[in-house]
Amino acid sequence: MIKHCLFPAAGYGTRFLPATKSMPKEMMPVVNKPLIEYGVEEAIQAGMNHMAIVTGRGKHTLMDHFDKNYELEHQISGSSKESLLTDIRSLIDSASYTYIRQREMKGLGHAILTGKELIGDNPFAVVLADDLCVNEEQGVLAQMVALYNKFRCSIVAVEEVPETETHKYGVIAGEQLKDNLFRVDNMVEKPESGTAPSNLAIIGRYILTPDIFEHIENTEPGKGGEIQITDALLKQAQQGCVMAYKFKGKRFDCGSVEGYMEATNYCYHNLYLSSQAGDQSKVKQDSKALSAA
């Protein structure tokens, strides 16, 4: 069973400056919850209860968010606003949270390697919080865990993107086993325009077996002087097996202004309003029950 989920969260979030000058991009709110909270909810839904967060300088609010705020809770105790903390209290109680600082920004592969001592010799998930994934029936990580239980190998989530966008992603190619499942035999990080092996782009959800750490340690810096997780995964695919999974659901690139606005609009209309309607319905039902009594 996969119980660990790693959140690389040390990046600067430069696409959202000046907002991210003093606020971690992972704490940017989509409606009334920060991005990282959506990711933790998805991990817990998939059965994980050890959250390992790789942080950097100025990221203390990430730790504060998954901890009690005694002053705030005392101030709103017994008021109608106390119920607004129900979800985050549940997340805090449902998992453990450990943190480690990434002192240098050397790419996603390096960030994952930094989290090694928090993960140990365990298979684990990786969530990039600025990729917000939504599926009202079953989260993307839960879908991937089900595949891992069958294949016991590393799995990357992919989606089709326009060929004009492939240069922004890691891109895979491989043998198609089913409509939504591929055995990877090639993987390229941000290929030059017109050279991508397919239009299947890796998004911010991974299931990784612990031997990935050894592959990362033996990976030379690539494009931009960074240690790319795609290079380490390609070695793993060549020596064993890596699967790519076209997930069910919607994904929003909240690292871009356009994607962030799309996510906010979607979550407001499809998640927030429906939850508010459900709360109002429960209040009415409780009132009727009290009247009948």
- Distance between CA atoms of 254 and 55, rounded to whole angstroms? 18
What is residue 103's predicted lDDT score, i.e. its pLDDT?
87
Alpha helices in 164-245 (DSSP H): 212-217, 229-239
Least confident of 62-71, 111-120, 207-216, 254-263: 62-71
Torsion of CA 130, 131, 136, 141, to 10 degrees: -110
Q: Give the pLDDT band (50/70/90) at residue 278.
A: low
Contact 253, 207 (CB under 8 A): no
- pLDDT tens-digit profile of 188-204? 999 988 899 999 999 99
Among the residue ranges 17-21, 128-132, 152-156, the one predicted with the least confidence is: 17-21
- Cα 119 to its chain centre, rounded Å, is 16
Summarize the confidence of residues 127-149 as an average pLDDT: 94
Residue 139 pLDDT exceeds 60? yes
Q: State the average pLDDT over residues 177-191.
A: 92
Beta strands in the chain (DSSP E): 4-8, 29-30, 33-34, 50-55, 96-101, 124-127, 131-134, 154-160, 170-178, 181-189, 200-208, 242-246, 250-253
- Structure confidence at residue 26 (pLDDT): 94
* Global pTM value: 0.89
Q: What is the domain-level CATH number for residue 148?
A: 3.90.550.10
Q: How far apart are CA 236 and CA 230, in angstroms?
A: 10
**Residue in the structure block whose two tokens are 């606003």:** 81
What is the Cα–Cα distance from 134 to 42, expressed in whole angstroms?
9
Which domain does 41 fall in, by range? Answer: 4-291
Render pLDDT for 69-127 as a digit per residue (tens, 0 to 9).
Answer: 888 888 888 888 888 888 899 999 999 999 999 988 889 999 999 999 999 999 999 99
Structural domain count of the chain: 1
pLDDT at 282 over 50: no
